[in-house]
Amino acid sequence: MLGNNLPSAREVVDFYKANNVKRMRLHDPNQEALEALRDSGIDLMLSVPNTDLHQLATSADDARQWVENSVSKFYPSVNIKYIAVGNEVNAVDGANRQYAPHVLPTIQNVYRVIRARGLHEIKVSTSIDMTSIKNSYPPSQGSFRDEVRSYFDPIIGYLVLAKAPLFANLYFAYSRSRPGDIPLNYASFTEPSMLVQDGSRGYRNLFDAMLESLHAALDGTSIGPVKVVVSESGWPSAGAEHATEDNARTYQQNLIPRVNRGTPMRPEPVETYLFAMFDENKKVGQETERHFGLFYPNKQNKYPFVFGA
């Protein structure tokens, strides 16, 4: 939504339906978008923005009001499947670390309201990036950084109790890496050989290896089983050397059948959200951030692409 040339919410919902896209992630509870989603049949992952975390963590009344305005007002005509509390909050470093103390209290406050209203089908969790992983090679030895365990372990404990998945944004910033660090074929699902052998399991692509290292890190806490939903993955089409339309098409089109088959450690479909539907010309950060869309804002295909396996 970070653009001044994007289609209206109603147009976007109609565009999803025309392309047979059955799930959507919203990064904030935009009322126009929620209204447009009524009776659309689209499953929704709805996010609590980082900037709202302090308020909802420190006030149960504000959490109740947020649920009333963003969930109860629309559910079940809007099929809200998940609530993602915070996005890419790292307790130790990164731009979002100041929000870390508020993630779990917000999850708990929102979860209590959801349960009190009998909305048991809605799962409440948080969306992380991979910066909290200390070791990812080989994938079976994946582990969390020691300094983030005091932040993550209570969240994992909640997820086990609530039977909720952990959301993870899986990207590899190939366009900003040093040439030769990771082979492009390995990052874009086009490597024919097993580049990484981990015991009896072999890996032809980085996505599988990253996801498996997160599974191993979660298992290594010994807190309990937690499913992972990939809440974002994508590749920019401009803004850096390897950020091209051809590489973006290759990554996105190969990602879909890959996640439908699952990973070597867990060979079952992995619920995965592509980032993003449209380019966003007002998004801050590096130039690549403005070029993750599968489509231009005028809804024209950026490159040949079909949804589905």
Q: Which residues are catalytic?
A: 88, 232
**What residues pair up with 194 in beta bridges, in sequence order?**
none
For residue 200, count other CB atoms closer than 10 A to its CB: 7
- Cα 103 from Cα 231, distance rounded (Å): 17
SS3 76: coil
**What residues pair up with 84 in beta bridges, in sequence order?**
47, 125
- State the burial class of residue 257 (Cβ atoms within 10 Å of its Cβ: 0-12, 13-18, 19+): exposed
- State the burial class of residue 229 (Cβ atoms within 10 Å of its Cβ: 0-12, 13-18, 19+): buried
Sequence-separated (6 or more) residues with CB below 8 Å from residue 76: none
- Cα 137 from Cα 139, distance rounded (Å): 5
What sign does the dihedral 170-244-304-277 (CA atoms) show?
positive
Cβ–Cβ < 8 Å for 260, 209: no
Cβ–Cβ < 8 Å for 236, 289: yes
- Cα 178 from Cα 195, distance rounded (Å): 18
